[in-house]
Amino acid sequence: MTRFVKGYRIQCLLGPLFKLLEALFELFVPLVVADMIDKGISGKDMPYVIRCAGILALLALVGLGFSVTAQYFAASASVHIVARVRHALFEKIGTFSHETLDSVGTSTLITRLTSDMDQVQSGINIGLRLLLRSPFVVFGAIIMAFRINADMAMIFVYVTIALFIVVYAVVLLCIRLYKKVQGRLDRVTELTREDLTGARVLRAFCKEPDEIEGFDMANTALMKIQIFTARVSALMDPVTFLMINIATMVLIWRGDVYVPGIISTGALVALYNYMAQILVELIKLANLSINIAKSAACAARISAVLDIDGAMKNGSVTELPDDDTAVEFDHVAFTYPNAADSAVTDISFTAKRGETIGVIGGTGAGKSSVINLIPRFYDATSGSVRVFGKDVRDIDIDTLRRSIGIVPQKAMLFSGTLRENILWGDENASDADIMRAAETAQALDVIEKKGGLDAKIEARGRDLSGGQRQRITIARALVRRPRILILDDSASALDMATDARLRRALTEMDISPTVFIVSQRVASVMNADRIIVLDDGGICGMGTHQELLGSCDIYREIYELQTGGASA
């Protein structure tokens, strides 16, 4: 992740530099105080005391200026660096294949884009300000102590070594613990996302108590690991205070022995001040170490995502030929990641240009799995999928998907206007193009009821009915004027009359796309040029409606169940 510092190296250098200058001025304060006591107060020289007070005030003002400047550069660098990391992570996630997204999980990606990023930003900010300052003050105070009295300065050396050992041990343990904390947070985020998204289903089945119990278990597990981690990190302050206070007691006790002639009162006060500075800085360093441990754990999680090679290898073909065969499956098999069994096996068929292909089968038969291989949402495990004569793995992904109009099984709309949602299909489409696509999709009445193309809709189209959402998503796919149109059970919420008008309008389109209609309703596919019947991931029948009634038992059973045994 260090590559994201490029462009902000000056801020990353100036922040610590000004902080070190502030620390340097702070190290002179005990010396001035010592002179004030030994020369001004002991000698009753009030002008000298006033001059020393003025010097102290000047050191404070200059130190304040350096501190504010350091804070500005540290904040600027941390905000801009994390903004670049967040953008890069979001862009990286956008390149992930469906397979990678399935294996990584949505909830953990959300956590890494939000909570982990905030923690990294905080760590960079604090690190730029204190990571060098605290050790500089500690070692500077030790050096100043040796200048005053080498024998007593050894107390500083011993306590500093002991404290560094304690801090290092706690930090190592905390890094591991914070990784576990973020992992448990992923689980809580996942459950929250599922429950909020499926709130209606939960209420419909009265599953709230079960989900509350599951969330409570995950939340309790997160709480326990957070409490344990907090207890470990909380050991830092009392241990450092104890060790520093013991060292201060030893310092004062030994100083009392030396005061009569070997060390002055001012020098002893200076040593005490340096010990106090070490105490403050080591406490800062201890807290900084905890923050750095959190940030390091979060940065490792972000870096792990950035290191994933989850993008599909892009093809080089940028022009699709005008081949008569639009889609061809050649002994295709596909298995989802980490799945025990294949989703589809030995799928072979061809779809000619302008044909309408129906795909039907029971739940889990593999209909969506087959269709998802055409736009290359997944790659076939074996066999090949060809579009217009070219293997989809050899075609540039943008070129491939721009030639395909996809209406997914779950209609997904985004907050904005109807026009903005439909223009996802073709950002250069005119209003006339949009209205023509809407007319084919039977969505004109939706647009009129909402008040026109500039009508606002909510995220996921919550203010639209299921049928309205489906028709708008169909219009979004049609405005692209695709060569291949995939309707993945996208008319399930439409009434029979609207579904029939939609299918008739599709056959009257001037672009004559190859249409794939995936459905569980025989009425949606019975007029297709060819129907593919899937069962348990394989093709158990292929042909026209009439042919399948006589040759495919599964198709005939589906037909009779849905029509009550009426004749075709």
Per-residue pLDDT tens over the stretch 481-492:
999 999 988 777
Q: Considering Cα of 41, then 42, then 47, then 53, what sign does the dihedral take?
A: negative
Give the count of alpha carbons within 13 A of 178, CB side only. 25
Q: Looking only at Cα atoms, what is the longest distance across the chain?
A: 120
The pLDDT value given to residue 280: 78
Confidence of residue 331 (pLDDT cuts 50, 70, 90): very high
What are 27-69's pLDDT values in tens digits? 888 888 877 887 777 777 788 888 888 988 998 899 899 989 9
CA distance 514 to 511: 9
Closest-CA residue to 520 (of 360, 349, 329)? 360
Across 149-170, average pLDDT? 78
Element (H, E) at 518: strand 514-519
Whether the full predicted model's pTM is greater than 0.75, yes or no, is no
What are 381-431's pLDDT values in tens digits? 999 999 999 999 999 999 999 999 988 888 888 888 999 999 988 888 999
| Cβ atoms of 407 and 524 closer than 8 Å | no
The pLDDT value given to residue 563: 81
64: its two tokens: 């304040």
CA distance 400 to 467: 28
| Cβ atoms of 140 and 30 closer than 8 Å | no
Q: At what angle do helices 106-113 and 115-130 cross, to 10 degrees?
A: 30
Q: At what angle do helices 236-258 and 208-234 cross, to 10 degrees?
A: 20
pLDDT mean across residues, the chain: 85
CATH top-level class for 2-306? mainly alpha
**23-26-29 Cα angle (round to 5):** 160
Q: Which residues pair with 328 in a beta bridge?
A: 350, 386
What's domain 325-563's superfamily in CATH? P-loop containing nucleotide triphosphate hydrolases (3.40.50.300)
Across 17-35, average pLDDT? 85
What are 429-471's pLDDT values in tens digits? 999 999 999 999 899 988 998 888 999 988 878 888 888 888 9
Element (H, E) at 242: helix 236-258
Confidence of residue 73 (pLDDT cuts 50, 70, 90): very high
Has residue 348 got a pLDDT over 90?
yes
Across 521-530, average pLDDT? 88
471: its two tokens: 């028709």
The pLDDT value given to residue 390: 92
568 CB-near residues (< 8 Å, 6+ apart): 526, 545, 546, 549, 559
The pLDDT value given to residue 258: 55
What are the extents of the domains in the chain? 2-306, 325-563
Q: Considering Cα of 67, then 69, then 70, then 71, what sign does the dihedral take?
A: positive
What are 244-292's pLDDT values in tens digits? 778 777 777 776 665 555 677 777 778 778 877 877 777 777 778 778 8
